[in-house]
């Protein structure tokens, strides 16, 4: 993905001829000063529709694209699109729409775009009020980068506080007399209102789709990271990732080595783990930490892993049992040269946390010291995941 700010976007528009007829600078300001995340997903939806040779669409169709784009971030990673209010309630209308559709459809976080759009169609009546709320301002305010320039801001400011009809009338006149806008509006009402894309903007967007989507993704990531400051690796949480990126082979070999020397007790069943019937599991879900650090991994009975999914184990009593297994591993690393060799093989993919390599796994820790170091560093991450909305298991 190509990341760039608005100035870089201008530099990366391929055809200088666009500057003769189109206000590309105004386009680069379409994501400026958002109040909610809607602008990012609205423009992204438009670009995707145009990239599929769309020349016109409707409010409802763009919102469907927005739902699909934000679905995975909201459902899998519990990302809040515009934060929470002082009472801990979701502020964002797009996020509320997705959460309502999840309740109705029971679709999984990794549902395909087709599955999501089918569910939208099936439950259109039930989610209509949520979708309609998204049309109040964003279709018009998304164009404010064109109409709120210094020589026009005093004229636009009072209009922007008026009805949708008044804003549409103003934008239509602006399009005719001052600058060509990327889209204009039809006469239908509500979610059926038409959006017509201007041919010159269609050409520009098609020629620069990769650059524009990269710019939107970059601006969206900055916005979401600011609103979710406790969430690690947010840049990886905007689209589904291939499960193959998880790098657990050396960790499994390490635990295999430990099990050859003696029993390892499953922290959830209290039974010995069978060597060929276990999964390497993240105590704090991978979907939150987005890494495969050794300090967060332990063997788990394969039959339970699917039910645990991306839920958080209850801290009490499971953390103490998890720490017991980690301390067993730690002891053998420093007592058995073969286990130490397997531990070293984890260094490339599973030992990046400085506190783990310099404090947790250093030689000489007592049991209490080891527990305290592990708890001191894992507890804040665990608490952040709870605040983000991860369920307990």
Going by C-alpha positions, the residue among 281, 266, 378, 248 that lies closest to residue 328 is 266
- What is d(CA 198, CA 181) in angstroms, rounded to the nearest whole number? 7
Confidence of residue 4 (pLDDT cuts 50, 70, 90): very low
Which tens digits make up the pLDDT trace of 319-339? 999 999 999 999 999 999 999
The secondary structure of residue 185, as a DSSP letter, is E
CB 126 within 8 A of CB 100: yes
**Across 71-98, average pLDDT:** 88
**95 Cβ partners below 8 Å, 6+ apart?**
70, 74, 80, 81, 82
Counting Cβ atoms within 10 Å, is residue 37 exposed (0-12), middle (13-18) or buried (19+)?
buried
Q: Is the dihedral of CA 132, 136, 142, 143 positive or negative?
A: positive
Phi first, then psi: give them for residue 377, nearest 5 degrees. -95, -30
Measure the CA dihedral 381/385/388/393, to 10°.
-160
Which tens digits make up the pLDDT trace of 50-78? 999 999 999 999 999 999 999 999 998 88
Share above pLDDT 90 across residues of the chain, in percent, rounded to a whole number: 65
Tokens of 381: 């991450």
- Name the helix (H) or strand (E) containing 373: helix 367-388
Which tens digits make up the pLDDT trace of 155-211? 898 998 889 999 999 999 999 999 999 999 999 999 999 999 999 999 999 888 888
- What is d(CA 87, CA 93) in angstroms, rounded to the nearest whole number? 16
Work out the mean pLDDT of the chain and round it to a whole number. 89
Confidence of residue 128 (pLDDT cuts 50, 70, 90): very high
- What is d(CA 220, CA 31) in angstroms, rounded to the nearest whole number? 9
- What is d(CA 123, CA 42) in angstroms, rounded to the nearest whole number? 21
Confidence of residue 5 (pLDDT cuts 50, 70, 90): very low
Mean pLDDT is highest, among 220-229, 268-277, 375-384, for 375-384
- Name the helix (H) or strand (E) containing 297: strand 297-301
The pLDDT score that the predictor gives to residue 90 is: 84
The pLDDT score that the predictor gives to residue 308 is: 82
Tokens of 181: 């806008």
| pTM tops 0.85, yes or no | no
- Residue 300, beta-bridge partner list: 279
**345 Cβ partners below 8 Å, 6+ apart?**
250, 253, 254
The secondary structure of residue 386, as a DSSP letter, is H
Instruction: Tell which wins on pLDDT, 13 or 232.
Output: 232
Which of these ranges, 189-203, 208-222, 286-300, 302-316, has the smallest mean pLDDT?
302-316
- Name the helix (H) or strand (E) containing 257: helix 249-261
- Residue 323, beta-bridge partner list: none
CA 78 remoteness from chain centre: 8
- Residue 185, beta-bridge partner list: 195
Going by C-alpha positions, the residue among 376, 362, 252, 280 that lies closest to residue 319 is 376
Which tens digits make up the pLDDT trace of 25-43? 899 889 888 888 899 999 9
CB 308 within 8 A of CB 300: yes
Tokens of 108: 């999984």
Ranges of each domain in the chain: 6-236, 245-388
- Residue 297, beta-bridge partner list: 282
Measure the CA dihedral 274/279/281/286, to 10°.
180
């Amino acid at each position: 993905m190509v990341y760039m700010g608005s100035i870089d976007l201008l530099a990366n528009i391929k055809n200088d001829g666009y500057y003769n007829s189109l206000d590309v600078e105004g386009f680069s300001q379409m994501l400026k000063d958002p109040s909610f995340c809607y602008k990012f997903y609205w423009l992204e939806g438009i670009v995707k529709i145009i990239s599929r040779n769309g020349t016109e669409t409707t409010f409802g169709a763009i919102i469907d694209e927005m739902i699909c784009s934000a679905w995975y971030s909201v459902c899998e990673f519990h990302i809040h699109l515009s934060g929470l209010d002082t009472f801990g309630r979701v502020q964002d209308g797009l996020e509320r729409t997705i959460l309502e559709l999840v309740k109705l459809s029971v679709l999984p976080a990794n549902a395909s775009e087709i599955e999501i759009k089918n569910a939208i169609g099936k439950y259109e009546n039930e989610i209509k009020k949520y979708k309609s709320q998204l049309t109040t301002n964003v279709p018009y305010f998304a164009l404010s980068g064109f109409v709120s320039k210094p020589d026009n801001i005093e004229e636009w400011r009072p209009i922007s506080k008026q009805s949708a009809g008044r804003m549409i009338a103003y934008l239509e006149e602006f399009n005719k007399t001052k600058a060509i806008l990327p889209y204009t509006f039809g006469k239908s009402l509500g979610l059926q209102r038409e959006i017509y894309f201007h041919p010159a903007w269609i050409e520009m967007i098609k020629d620069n789709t990769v650059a524009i989507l990269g710019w939107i993704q970059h601006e969206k990531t900055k916005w979401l990271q600011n609103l979710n400051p406790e969430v690690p690796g947010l840049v990886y949480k905007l689209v589904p990732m291939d499960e193959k990126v998880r790098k657990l082979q050396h960790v499994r070999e390490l635990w295999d080595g430990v099990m050859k020397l003696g029993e390892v007790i499953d922290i959830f069943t209290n039974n010995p783990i069978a060597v060929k019937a276990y999964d390497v599991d993240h105590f704090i879900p991978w979907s939150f930490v987005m890494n495969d650090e050794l300090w967060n991994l332990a063997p788990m009975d394969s039959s339970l892993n699917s039910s645990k999914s991306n839920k958080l184990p209850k801290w009490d009593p499971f953390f103490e049992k998890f720490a017991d297994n980690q301390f067993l591993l730690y002891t053998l690393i420093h007592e058995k040269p073969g286990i130490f060799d397997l531990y070293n093989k984890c260094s490339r993919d599973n030992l990046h946390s400085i506190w783990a390599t310099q404090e947790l796994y250093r030689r000489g820790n007592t049991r209490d010291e080891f527990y305290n170091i592990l708890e001191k560093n894992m507890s804040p991450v665990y608490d952040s995941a709870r605040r983000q909305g991860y369920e307990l298991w």
